[in-house]
Chains A and B, each alone.
Chain A
């Protein structure tokens, strides 16, 4: 999988929007952008994924730059339960499923 770069940590206040950035300048045309998060003492949890267009689901939104070299995960109204490590991962859609390559992720801290 291609490499991604994320800030080590970010802090936000409860009930405010959070924008988590991810840089992936070496992304290939067949790479999907996936986001997972890991709450304390739990396994990673799928959040959202996209290819070119912005995506929305019940958990978050994913904004993808036009050149696809960066993306932003948006939590529209953060709660204390959103405090977690967020991982941005590229996955090649060219083949079948394969393992995820996790980086260090962004540790999101939510202040009440």
Chain B
């Protein structure tokens, strides 16, 4: 199994530009999560999906952030327009149903907004 796949691994953009981060979860997993990690705030949950439906987006910082999951094997996190304070590492994770089961994280996308 290839694990959770994220692309790109690194993204450098200028303030005001649109940024799209991509994630392919592990095949067969019911849940997909987006997290953000910064030095100041640590790891934070942004949004998660169950069977492609967004369940909790209370962690999304503001309207500039949006996430979609058009099918079971693909999700995007979009920032439009991007700002320097959005610079962070963004992780995608997936898991099966049940809170007792492990979440499997991707390698992350390091985003730098200049």
Q: Which residues of A pack against B, CB within 8 Å?
A: 32, 34, 42-46, 49, 91-104
Contact = CB atoms under 8 A, between A and B. Distances in A.
A32 B102 CA distance: 11
Interface residues of B, number: 30
Contacts of B85: none
B105 A43 contact: yes
Contacts of B4: 43
Contact of A43 (B45, B55, B100, B108): B108
A46 B48 contact: no
Contact of B99 (A42, A43, A44, A98): A98
Given A93-B99, A93-B100, A43 B93 contact: yes
B96 interface: yes
Nearest to B108: A43
B25 interface: no
Contacts of B103: 44, 46, 97, 100
Given A97-B50, A98-B48, A104-B42, A46 B104 contact: yes
